[in-house]
Amino acid sequence: METAIFLIFAALALGSALMVVTHKSPVYATMSLVVTLFSLAVMFVLLGAPFIGALQVLVYAGAIVVLFLFVLMLLNISKEEHQQEGQTVHRWVALLGAGAFIGLVVPLLYRAAQPRNAGVLTEQFVSIREFARDLFGRYLLQFEIVGLLLLVAVVAATVVARKPPAAPSGAPGADSPVSEVEP
């Protein structure tokens, strides 16, 4: 039963990941990313991390990707433009690189994880209480640092994305949705 779930959602994740990197329209690519993230959340639950799975949907699929969509719509970014010269070589190099990576890493990972048995999932491993105990106990310093990082990111994003103060004479036209819509 679990194998079936794994195979279905792994296929879904890989398929939508391919859509993410190949589809011409950025909006479709973003929606495919949502499907990928959701499938990966299922993977996390299968691996005994339901908290992480729920957080993946809540944070990643429910907020970060929405941010992507916001920016896409505000900037009114339509489909990608036509292929330029040099693009085909680019593509083959990238594919070759990815293929080499797969060929090197995949057998390594497979063999590395093989002989060891993962053991039975215990209630203790899955429990959120124990997770919180680890997070606020052993890793408290890292937790606080990440909080600081998020604060810095909020300030930085606000400063970087806001409208420039007094527009000089060479400013872009006022017909852009970016300068008008400030949600």
Partner 1 sequence: MSLPNSVPVSWFLVLAALLFAIGVAGALTRRNGIGIFLSIELMLNAANVALVGYSRLLGERTGQIMVLFVMAVAAAEAAVGLGLFIAVYRQRRTIDVNRLNLMRW
Partner 2 sequence: MQFELLATAAKMALMLGIFILGVAPIMLWVERRMSAFIQDRPGPNRLGPLGLVQGVADAVKFMFKEDVTPAGADKPLYLMAPALALIPALSTYVVIPFGPDLTVSGKTVPMIVSTGSAGVLIFLALSSLGVYSLITAGYASNNKFSLLGGIRASAQLISYELALTVAVLAALIPAGSFYLPDVVAYQQKHLWMVIPQAIGFLVFLIAMFAETNRLPFDLPEAESELIAGFHTEYGAMRFATFFMGEYISMTALSMLAVTLYFGGWTLPWVHLTGWLGAIVGLAVLFGKVSLFMLFYVWVRWTFPRFRYDQLMRLGWKVLLPLAILNFLAVAVATLAGWFPGVG
Residues 23-82 that bind partner 1 (CB under 8 A): 26, 29-30, 33, 36-37, 40, 43-44, 46-49, 51-52, 55-56, 59-60, 63-64, 67-68, 71-72, 74-75, 77, 80-81
- Dist CA 135 CA 120 (whole Å): 23
**What is the distance between the terminal CA atoms of the chain, rounded to a whole angstrom?**
46
- Dist CA 178 CA 163 (whole Å): 9
| 47 forms part of the interface with partner 2 (CB under 8 A) | no
Among 54, 130, 135, 179, interactor with partner 2 by CB under 8 A: 54
Residues of this chain, 110-169, that bind partner 1 according to CB under 8 A: 110, 112-114, 116-123, 125-126, 130-131, 134-135, 139, 142-143, 146, 149-150, 152-154, 156-158, 160-161, 164
- Dist CA 71 CA 27 (whole Å): 10
| 46 forms part of the interface with partner 2 (CB under 8 A) | no
Residues of this chain, 93-152, that bind partner 2 according to CB under 8 A: 126-128
| CA distances, 151 to each of 45, 47, 67, 161 (Å) | 29, 31, 17, 16
| 12 forms part of the interface with partner 1 (CB under 8 A) | no
Neighbours of 17 (CB within 10 A): 16
Coil vs helix vs strand at 172: coil
Q: Which residues bind partner 2 (CB under 8 A)?
A: 27-28, 31, 34, 50-51, 53-55, 57-58, 61-63, 66, 69-70, 73-74, 126-128, 181, 183
